[in-house]
Amino acid sequence: MTLATLSRTLLVPAVATAAAAALVLPSGTAHARSVHPGSPAARAASVTVANMAFSPASVSTTLGGAVTWTFKDATAHTTTSDQGFWDSGTKFGGSTYTRTFTSAGTFAYHCTIHSMMRGTVKVPVAASGSAGKGYKLTWATTRGRNAITYDVQTRLGSGAWVSLKKATTGTHAKFNPAKGGKYSVRARTAKGGKRSGWSPTVTVTIS
């Protein structure tokens, strides 16, 4: 089995400063860097709910990172997951709702009162390791429970996506393939029969 090296830079959240935001790749892919979920490296994001809209409509955070919605309208709104992962209940007049994202995926949400109000939260897989010890891919900070499972896929170059884990309740796995090249990694979270979208793609280079 060949030894592997990992070129790593995590997707920068869309709500970061303008200088940091310039690092985001237009294709939606990112290089991976070492991140320990729940550590100080976890990034927070903020969404303002005002003028009948979520702003920004799409934000990114890391595993273990939190998103806070601030409801500035006098009119009541909600932030409600399309797949049932969360529901803030009605909020307005400066109240807030915060949710910590413990698994990878692209999570669509809406306001249950105003159907035109929609948004997404994107959470990529985390990768850490070394050439001597192999690599750890982490897609969740807690094991799946209450019908929550995870799907994880990889692909070499522009080839077909291959399942690494399907409907697993585990949180991580070692990834050290014998064949070198540039691998893409993505994951999603399922609750019962409903699934999030796939997470932003993280790229790891094996040599």
Q: List, for residues 131-175, the tens digit of each pLDDT value.
A: 566 678 999 999 999 999 999 999 999 999 999 999 999 999 999
Q: 27: phi > 0 → left, psi -120 to 50 → alpha, else beta; which?
A: alpha
Under a CB-based contact definition with an 8 Å cutoff, are residues 25 and 155 in contact?
Answer: no
Per-residue pLDDT at 66: 97
Q: Which two tokens stand for residue 142?
A: 């807690």
- Taking the model in full, what pTM does it have? 0.79
**Rounded mean pLDDT of the chain?**
82
Distance CA 13, CA 3 (A): 31
CA–CA distance, 40 with 94 (Å, rounded to integer): 27
Domains of the chain: 18-37+124-206 (2.60.40.10), 45-123 (2.60.40.420)
Mean pLDDT of all residues in 80-106: 97
Q: What local confidence, expressed as pLDDT, does residue 192 receive?
A: 86
Dihedral of CA 64/158/167/190: which sign? positive
Q: What local confidence, expressed as pLDDT, does residue 135 receive? A: 77
| pLDDT value at residue 130 | 62
Report whether 44 contacts 165 (CB < 8 A).
no
Q: Is there a contact between 6 and 204 (Cβ–Cβ < 8 Å)? A: yes
Angle at 40 between CA 89 and CA 107, to 5 degrees: 35
- Region of 101 please: left (phi>0), alpha (psi -120 to 50) or beta: beta
Q: Which of 15-24, 110-119, 125-134, 175-184 has the highest mean pLDDT?
A: 110-119
Query: Can you give the pLDDT at residue 28?
Result: 36
132 neighbors 142 (Cβ within 8 angstroms): no
CA distances from 101 to 105, 141, 170 (A): 9, 9, 16
